[in-house]
Structure 1
Amino acid sequence: MSALDPAAMVPHLMQLGTVLNRSRLVERAAEQVGIPVDRPGLTVLITLRMAGQPLRVGEIAARMQVVGPHVTRHLHELERADLVRRVTDPDDQRARLVELTEKGAGAAGRYLGAVLGWFAEAVADWSEEDRETFGRLLGRFVEDLQAHLVRE
Structure 2
Amino acid sequence: MHDDDLLAELLPRLTQLSNVLNRGRMYEQAAAAAGISLERPAMAVLGVLKTAGKPLRIGEIADRMQVAGPHATRQVQGLEQRGLVHRIADPDDQRARLIDLTPEGTSTADRYMRTVLGWFTGALAHWPDEDRRDLGRLLGRMVDDLTAHLKALDGPGLP
TM-score (norm 2): 0.87
- Preserved contact between residue 86 and residue 97 of structure 1 (Cα < 8 Å): yes
- Preserved contact between residue 25 and residue 115 of structure 1 (Cα < 8 Å): no
Q: Which residue of 2 aligns with 1:115?
A: 116
1:62/1:18 Cα in 2 relative to 1: closer, same or farther (>3 Å)? closer
**Letter aligned with residue 124 of structure 1:** A
User: CA–CA distance in 1 between the matches of 2:121 and 2:56?
Assistant: 29
The farther-off stretch of 30-39 and 9-18 is 9-18
User: CA–CA distance in 2 between the matches of 1:22 and 1:94?
Assistant: 39
User: CA–CA distance in 2 between the matches of 1:138 and 1:42?
Assistant: 23
Alignment deviations for residues 53-105 of structure 1 (CA, whole Å, 9 cap, x no partner): 11111111122222221111111111111110112223322111111011000
Give the fraction of aligned pairs with identical amino acids, expressed as a percent: 54
User: CA–CA distance in 1 between the matches of 2:74 and 2:25?
Assistant: 23
User: CA–CA distance in 2 between the matches of 1:90 and 1:66?
Assistant: 26
The farther-off stretch of 121-130 and 91-100 is 91-100
5+ residue gaps, structure 2, are 154-159
> Offset at 1:22?
4.9
**Letter aligned with residue 20 of structure 2:** V
Alignment deviations for residues 22-75 of structure 1 (CA, whole Å, 9 cap, x no partner): 572222111211222111111100111111111111111122222221111111
5+ residue gaps, structure 1, are none
Q: Which residue of 1 aligns with 2:9?
A: 8
1:70/1:21 Cα in 2 relative to 1: closer, same or farther (>3 Å)? closer
1:46-85 aligned within 5 A? 46-85=47-86
Aligned residues: 151
Q: Which residue of 1 aligns with 2:127?
A: 126
TM-score (norm 1): 0.91
User: CA–CA distance in 2 between the matches of 1:114 and 1:150?
Assistant: 32
User: CA–CA distance in 2 between the matches of 1:21 and 1:86?
Assistant: 29
Alignment deviations for residues 1-30 of structure 1 (CA, whole Å, 9 cap, x no partner): x45411111221222233334572222111
- Preserved contact between residue 56 and residue 98 of structure 1 (Cα < 8 Å): yes
